[in-house]
Amino acid sequence: ERRAEGSAHAKTILLGEHAVVYGRPAIAFPLASLTITALARTTTRGLSLETPYHRGSVARDDGTSPREVLLAEAALRHTLDFLGKPHHGVDVTVTGSIPAARGLGSSAAVASAISAAVAGLDGVRLSNAERFELVQFVERIAHGTPSGLDAHATMASGPILFERGEAHPLAMATLPPLVVADTGIRGHTGAAVAMVRARRERDARGVDASLDDIAVLVAGAQADLASGDLAALGERMYVCHGILSELGVSSPELNALVSAARQAGALGAKLTGGGQGGCVIALAPTAAAVPQLAAALTAAGAHGVWSVTGSEETT
Ligand code: PMV
């Protein structure tokens, strides 16, 4: 029996979700405390896959598998195709802590970890470009027209500026004390992206103006991060949440966590990821104030709160 492992971390979008689907820039941070690990083993049996969401054989095509399992299976099969290998003789066990469908990039992380592990069985180390393509294949199944931000962010070891299809390391004076809080409600990135698209078909000028406003916030945030102006950065986050709410991708629960962050003294807060559920990202005034902000978000009903540490290694 041969074995190989792959892992990937969660990501959180500081600014730029949705606008990035239409070619605008976005900023994302790794969320190092949440990871996915895939262990691939050769077997004499067919293809089997175990994920945090289910156990058992892959050969179930009765449509009852949860969405996350179908995506993991697509990653497994597509990686085998890429390697020119048959669809049997591999067993993959996925473990990890990234909650699914919360805008934290779980589908990209699962796909990235699986592709690295399965390629590793053959001693193949995928290049970042190959891994990106494999993850994008799965992201297309997950939500149609992925910008590529998630696929890059889950491979990046530090904060990135994603622009015109490319990820660039982001210069920062200091690490902003960011926390991510989960509403506990599943978001629907595909539905949220489709809703923005439908709205844009009705009102191209209005929606494009909003997307341009988000792009201006991203450029400003890039400067704030470089200079360490957290107050300005935070204000841009609040403004962005307002724009995303107007676009229709927020929810009462997301708005409640943003309000709770504001009341607890956060410099900024907004939804993060596709929205309509999922998480908010909030900026504490200092690193020392992070526990208090996290406690306030938990008291306001957050199901999980994680601080953003800024860097993570990917294997
Ligand atoms: O996967 P999520 O929920 O973090 O959403 C990704 C961000 C979007 O801009 C909404 C979609 C995309 O493809 O970039």
CB 192 within 8 A of CB 185: no
For the chain, domain boundaries: 3-167, 172-307
**Domain 3-167 of CATH type 3.30.230.10:** yes
Which of 92, 90, 108 shows the shortest CA–CA distance to 100? 108
What CATH code is assigned to 172-307?
A: 3.30.70.890
Residue 71 CA to ligand 1 center (angstroms) comes to: 16
Residue 46: the pLDDT is: 87
Kindly tell me if the per-residue pLDDT of 113 is higher than 90: yes
Intrachain domains 3-167 and 172-307 with the same fold: no
Q: Which mutation among 21, 186, 240, 276 tests ligand 1's pocket best, with the greatest number of atoms within 8 A of CB? A: 21
| pLDDT range class, residue 26, cuts 50, 70, 90 | very high
Q: What's the pLDDT score for residue 51?
A: 84
Tens-place pLDDT, residues 154-181: 989 899 999 989 999 999 998 999 999 9
Q: How confident is the model at residue 59 (pLDDT cuts 50, 70, 90)?
A: very low
pLDDT bin (cut points 50, 70, 90) of residue 63 is low
150 annotated active-site: yes
HSE-up of residue 212 (Cα within 13 Å, Cβ side): 6
Q: Is the pLDDT of residue 315 over 80?
A: no
pLDDT band at 54; cut points 50, 70, 90: low
Read off the pTM.
0.92
Place of tokens 């991060």: 225
Task: Give Rg (Cα) of the chain.
Answer: 19
Residue % of the chain over a pLDDT of 70: 94
Closest CA relative to residue 96, chosen from 42, 135, 39? 39
Q: Which of 176, 148, 177, 145 is nearest to 25 (CA)?
A: 148
Mean pLDDT of 240-246: 98
Taking alpha carbons only, the member of 313, 283, 21, 33 closest to residue 162 is 21
Q: Which residues line ligand 1 (CB under 6 A)?
A: 13, 17-18, 20-21, 103, 105, 146-147, 149-150, 187, 189, 193, 273-274
pLDDT(66) > 90: no
Ligand 1 atom, smallest distance to 13 CA: 4
Query: Is residue 56's pLDDT more than 90?
Result: no
313 pLDDT above the threshold of 50: no
Task: Determine contact, residues 9/35, Cβ cutoff 8 Å.
Answer: yes
ipTM of the complex, rounded to two decimals: 0.95
Q: 54-68, 120-134, 272-286: which range is least confident on average?
A: 54-68
